[in-house]
Chain A
Amino acid sequence: MPRDERPRLSRRAWITTTSGVIAAGLVKTQSDAIKLVAQEAPSDPTKVPGRLVSELGTRAPAEQPKRLVRAQALSSSSRTPLADLMGTITPADLHFERHHAGIPDIQFEDHELLIHGMVERPMVFRMPDLMRYPQVSRIRFLECSGNGGGVYNRERMPTEVTVQALDGLLSTSEWTGVAVSTLLREVGVRPGASWILAEGGDSAVMSRSVPLDKVMEDSILAYGQNGERIRPEQGYPLRLFNPGYEGNTSVKWLRRIEVTDQPTHTRDETSKYTDPLGDGTVRQFSLVMDAKSVITFPSYPYVLPDPGWWEIRGLAWSGRGRITRVEVSTDGGRSWVDAALQGPILDKSTVRFRHLFDWNGRDTVILSRATDETGYVQPTVEQLWEARGTRTSYHQNHQRAWRIARTGEVTFGLGELV
C-alpha cells in the first residue's frame, strides 16, 4: 500500500474505540489489550505499547517486495526485485525461480541421492546421511544464463523496463551443504572419469553434465540457504550448486549423480543453453558466467525529483572469481570513474558498488562496467555483437545503461548508445 493511503486514526478516535471495546468486556488480559492497540496504527507510537513477540516475523505492511512472474506455466520463471534490495544477500523468498516442470513436493525423509557410474562404491545417501558429513557454507551468486537475453535484440530495444524484468534472474545467498568432493572421495572416483551427470527428481528430470574438475573444485550439495533449509522452489531438500556457472547446471531436487567419461548431451545442453555465434557454429557448454554489473538505482520507473547529489548503486559479479573494479560513467560512456566497492569482496559473489553523483539536471546516460580478477572487462553490446553476432540469447553480460531525462524520468538507455 502506498504510504499516503495508509489508514490514519486520530488519537482521540483511537481512545474512544479502545475504551468502547474495553467497556464491552472484550479485553480480558493485558495481551488482549496490546493486540487490540496494535491493530490500529496510532499516530504517536511512543504513546502506546507495541506488538508482542511472535514465532514468525513478517515484513512491514508497506514493504512488500515481490518476484516478477511473467507467465503461469510449468516451465517458467520469476525474477528477483533487484531495485528493492540492499547489500548483496537476496531474501530466500525473493530468490529468482526457473523451473521446467513446476515445483515438486518432496519429503525430507523420503529423499535419496544416488551416486554411481565410474566409482568404486555406488552409494545411496539419505538426507540425515548427507547432513552428517563435514559441512561447508559459501556466499555465492546464482544467475540464469538467459538473464538479460531480452535486451540484446537490436530490433526491439525496450525503454520502459525495470532492472527486475531485465536482470532479475540473479540472486545471492549463503549456501550450506556438503562439498561434492567430500562425497566423491567417499565413493571413490575411478581413473578416466571427467564429467558428471546431475539429475533432478522433478517431473522434467532436469539433467545437466558438469565437468568433474569443476565439481571437485568448489561445487556443493546444498541443503541450506541463508540460514534455513533450502526452499521448495530452490530444490528442497537438496540441490547441486555450481558457483559461477549458469544457473541451470545447479540442478534442483537432486536425486542422482553419475560419474562419466563424457558429457551426456542432454536437451538442456544442446537444444537450449547453447549459443549460435553467427558464423555457422554453436558454442556448447558455455558454463561460466562472465563478469557483469547492473545499476539498480536509479533505474526505471524511478523519477529523480530534483537535480543535485544522488548515489548511483548497483551490483557486480563474475563467475570467474572476484570483482576487482567497477567503473561508472555519467556521460554516456565518454568518461569513467571508479565506483566504491563494498567489502568483503567474495569469490563468485555479488559486490555492491556505489558512486556519488551530482546530477546537473540535464539529459544524460549512466552506465557501469565491471572488471574481474582475470582482468576481463564487461564488454559493450557492440563488442558482444562483434564477437558473437546478434542472435545469441544467453550470456548477455554487456554493459547496461539508463537514460536520465531532464524531467528526472529514468528509462532503459541502451538504445541511446547503439
Chain B
Amino acid sequence: MRALAAGLCATIALLGACTEGDRTAAGAAAAPGEVAMAGTPEGIPSHAPARFGFGSEASDARVAMWDIDVRPDGEGLPAGSGSVAQGRDVYNVHCVACHGPTGTEGPNDRLVDSEQWDDVPGTRTVGNYWPYATTLYDYIRKAMPQLTPGILSHDQVYAVIAYILWMNEIVPEDAVMDAETLPAVVMPARDKFVVDDRVGGAGIVR
C-alpha cells in the first residue's frame, strides 16, 4: 500500500501537481499547445483536479512498439521492400490455402478482380473497391495470415502486397513496393468514396 502511495506521488510529482496549490479546477485554461475543452466533461465534478495522474507516461519506445497503423499518406510504413516475384512465393506459402491460387477461388475473401464498375460493384475486392493501397499494409501486418498473424517480415508484407496489386493489374510485373512506392499507388476506386451525408431529420431518406 505504501509502495503504491509512493509510486502515485511520484507520478503526480512528475506531472507537477503534488501540492494543493497546484490543483486547478476542471475546465481551466489548457496548457499552451493544447485544445481547451469547453466546461467540465460529463462525469467529472467541478472540484476535480485538472489532471489525476493515474497511469504512467508512455516512452517513445513504448509508443513505437504498438504504433503499427499505416495511413494513406504513408505514415507508419516501415523500412523494407518487396517485389512481385518475391510476393508470389510469399503468397503461395502463406495465403493460397485460404484465398486460392489466383486470389479468386477462396474459400475466404476474394482478393482479386480487375473488372471495374460504373454504377454498382459486382465484387468488392482490392482491385475494384479498395480506395487505398496502404490499407493492405495496415491490414495484412495486423491480421494476416489469419491463423498466424504477425509472422511475415516487413519485406514479405511489401512483397505480397506487390503481388496482390499485380494480380489486380494495378502495378506492373517489375514493381517493387516500399515506403515510397506503396502510398503512390493510385487505386482504381479511390475517387468513388464519398463521406456520409445522412443527417436525420423529417422527410429525409438517404
Decide whether A and B assemble into one complex. yes
**Hey, which bits of chain A sit against chain B, CB under 8 A?**
74-75, 100-101, 114-116, 120-126, 129-130, 132-136, 178-179, 181-182, 185-186, 188-191, 193, 197, 199, 203-205, 207, 216, 218, 255-256, 258, 260, 262, 264-267, 270-271, 274, 276, 278-288, 290-291, 318, 320, 372, 374-377, 379, 383-384, 386-389, 391
- Within 8 Å CB of B67, what residues of A? 116, 256, 258
With most chain B CB atoms within 10 A of its CB, the pick from A121, A181, A270, A285 is A270
Interchain CB contact under 8 A, B200 and A372:
yes
Interchain CB contact under 8 A, A188 and B30:
yes
Query: Could you say which of A129, A189, A267, A279 contacts B119, with CB atoms under 8 Å apart?
Result: A279
Residue in chain A with minimal CB distance to B138: A266
- Within 8 Å CB of B132, what residues of A? 265, 270
Interchain CB contact under 8 A, A190 and B42:
no
**Hey, which bits of chain B sit against chain A, CB under 8 A?**
15, 26, 30-31, 33-35, 37, 41-45, 48, 50-52, 54-58, 62-63, 66-73, 117-121, 124, 126, 129-132, 134-135, 138-139, 142-143, 146, 149, 189, 192-206
Interchain CB contact under 8 A, A186 and B52:
yes
Cα(A137)–Cα(B117), bound, Å: 46
Query: Could you say which of A186, A193, A377, A387 contacts B51, with CB atoms under 8 Å apart?
Result: A186
Q: Contacts A267-B138, A278-B120 hold; do A205 and B58 have CB atoms under 8 A apart?
A: no
Q: Is the interface of B mostly helix, strand, loop or mixed?
A: loop
Interchain CB contact under 8 A, A375 and B34:
no
Min CB gap A143→B, angstroms:
15
Interchain CB contact under 8 A, A189 and B201:
no
Interchain CB contact under 8 A, B196 and A134:
no
- Within 8 Å CB of B73, what residues of A? 262
Interchain CB contact under 8 A, A123 and B143:
no
Interchain CB contact under 8 A, B195 and A136:
no
- Within 8 Å CB of A318, what residues of B? 200
Q: Contacts A122-B57, A136-B43 hold; do A191 and B35 have CB atoms under 8 A apart?
A: yes
Query: Could you say which of B30, B69, B119, B192 contacts A197, with CB atoms under 8 Å apart?
Result: B69
Cα(A114)–Cα(B34), bound, Å: 19
Min CB gap A396→B, angstroms:
13
Interchain CB contact under 8 A, B63 and A134:
no
- Within 8 Å CB of A204, what residues of B? 142-143, 149
Interchain CB contact under 8 A, B26 and A284:
no
Residue in chain A with minimal CB distance to B189: A282
Cα(A132)–Cα(B55), bound, Å: 10
Q: Contacts A185-B26, A271-B130 hold; do A383 and B205 have CB atoms under 8 A apart?
A: yes
Min CB gap B141→A, angstroms:
9
Query: Could you say which of A123, A207, A216, A265 contacts B142, with CB atoms under 8 Å apart?
Result: A207
- Within 8 Å CB of B124, what residues of A? 271, 276
Interchain CB contact under 8 A, B35 and A283:
no
Min CB gap A334→B, angstroms:
20
In the complex, the 8 A-B pairs of residues with the closest C-beta atoms, listed nearest first: A375-B202, A374-B200, A181-B41, A205-B142, A267-B139, A122-B58, A125-B55, A136-B43
Query: Given A276-B121, A280-B118, 7 other A-B contacts at CB below 8 A?
Result: A116-B58, A121-B15, A281-B193, A291-B200, A372-B200, A389-B119, A389-B120
Query: Could you say which of B41, B52, B135 contacts A216, with CB atoms under 8 Å apart?
Result: B41
Residue in chain A with minimal CB distance to B71: A264
Interchain CB contact under 8 A, A379 and B193:
no
Residue in chain A with minimal CB distance to B140: A267
- Within 8 Å CB of A286, what residues of B? 196, 198
Interchain CB contact under 8 A, A284 and B194:
yes
- Within 8 Å CB of B33, what residues of A? 120, 190-191
Interchain CB contact under 8 A, B201 and A267:
no
Q: Sample 13 A-B pairs with CB under 8 A, ordered by A number.
A: A120-B31, A133-B54, A178-B43, A182-B41, A185-B26, A203-B143, A265-B71, A267-B139, A278-B119, A283-B194, A290-B200, A374-B199, A374-B200
Query: Could you say which of A124, A135, A262, A285 contacts B56, with CB atoms under 8 Å apart?
Result: A124
Min CB gap A111→B, angstroms:
13
